[in-house]
Amino acid sequence: MSIKSNLKYYVFFTCISLICANLNPIILIPGDGGCQIDAKLNKTSSVHYLCEKQTNEYFNIWLNMELLVPFVIDCWIDNMRLIYDNITRTTSSVDGVHLRIPGFGGSETVEWLDPSHAATGSYFKPIADLLVSLGHTRNVTVKGAPYDFRKAPNENAQYFIDLKVLVEKTYQENNNQPVILIAHSMGALMSLHFLNQQDQAWKDQHIKTLVTLAGAWGGSMKAIKVYAIGDDLGSYALRESIMRLQQITSPSLAWLLPSPLYWKSNEVLVETDKKNFTLNNLKEFFYGISYPNGWEMKRDTEVYQLDFRPPGVEIHCIYGTGVDTVERLYYKPGTWLDGYPSLIMGNGDGTVNLKSLEGCLLWQNLQQQRIYSVPLPNVDHLGILGDVKVLQYLSNLIKTVDRN
């Protein structure tokens, strides 16, 4: 390369570094389903003749719409499901299935769930685009912290270690500017658990603010609905009952059950003519749906629900309201838990109930750092990631933070 070319590169990167020196770097923390997963297979058997048993390389398994089609979805479920061991109280993949979470530290795998960049796979992309328009640079001042969203904190210990290293490295690489964390849905809970592992001096030095979008602070009644009948992810092409076979094996689903901090212990969650189910007798519900492992995973994760100490950082808690959200399951007389219930709706963002979305307000008198509550009418759980009002709020916040 010529001296002239070298000089051009030097000037360019010097300019970039000068611009970035005044920016607070940002780390994006996804929610449930909010990052890519790769798989590599070395299986001796399969659940269907269409299923591959051996692959030489890792391939994208989430989100790969080509795998979520009739018959082939049986292969996907077997490769994505977890097997629970009630002795070790941990989960593992099916023998011969090796999964990895790609792209830690970069933004690509949290911007796009589908590496082909199909529109249906966009996740943090609108927010990353906004940040770039404000002068940020992907993988320099905008980074991502994906994790295995199927698992709860008890099986994600290494993630929290890696996240601390990422925060410190990002802080150092950007002129010792404290980091802004932007978290979606379950990512808010992951962020809370992470921050509560750090001492206050570390947080004061390294964290500028925490922005949560649709934080599922107190869990969601949708978790009960998934255990009962599954969830089709909003796609008419998918069957709830089929998706349920994989979904209920995830300990993170148990972690997202309604929290006793926000639901009364005698509040009816599931209504039948034989028996009503509340938090008081939830164990009977799991045995009623013939999935006792769900109860065991709840026991493993409830400590994280109850550890709801304030995070000790400034919070901007942004969430949608006024969208029909399942509040209770109702089984008509003569039916039982193996039937299909009516969904009684209430207020929320379509996925998380309002009482949970507002959970951050619990800390208002429990920490010195400011807590900003930003309810947005008619904004749904996933739509919040690209909503115009949200992007404008983030733009104003980041411009203000960067000026300070």
State the Cα–Cα distance between residues 357 and 365, nearest whole angstrom: 18
Q: Do the Cβ atoms of 312 and 205 come closer than 8 Å?
A: no
Work out whether strand 371-377 and strand 315-321 pair parallel, antiparallel, or are unpaired. parallel
Q: Do the Cβ atoms of 329 and 271 come closer than 8 Å?
A: yes
In degrees and rounded to multiples of 5, residue 343 shows phi and psi of: -100, 115
Q: Do the Cβ atoms of 224 and 270 come closer than 8 Å?
A: yes
State the Cα–Cα distance between residues 63 and 33, nearest whole angstrom: 8
State the Cα–Cα distance between residues 355 and 333, nearest whole angstrom: 29
Residues with a known catalytic role: 185, 349, 381
State the Cα–Cα distance between residues 8 and 35, nearest whole angstrom: 36
Q: Which two three-digit tokens encode residue 70?
A: 């009739």
Q: Do the Cβ atoms of 39 and 98 come closer than 8 Å?
A: yes
List the one residue out of 312, 315, 314 whose CA is nearest residue 199. Answer: 312
State the Cα–Cα distance between residues 193 and 304, nearest whole angstrom: 8
What are the residues whose beta carbons fall under 8 Å from the beta carbon of 385, sequence distance 6 or more?
123, 124, 126, 127, 184, 213
State the Cα–Cα distance between residues 67 and 100, nearest whole angstrom: 17
DSSP H or E stretch at residue 9: helix 3-20
59 burial type by CB count under 10 A (0-12 exposed, 13-18 middle, 19+ buried): middle
> Other CB atoms closer than 10 Å to residue 351's CB: what's the count?
26
State the Cα–Cα distance between residues 385 and 376, nearest whole angstrom: 12
Beta bridge partners, 183, equal 29, 212
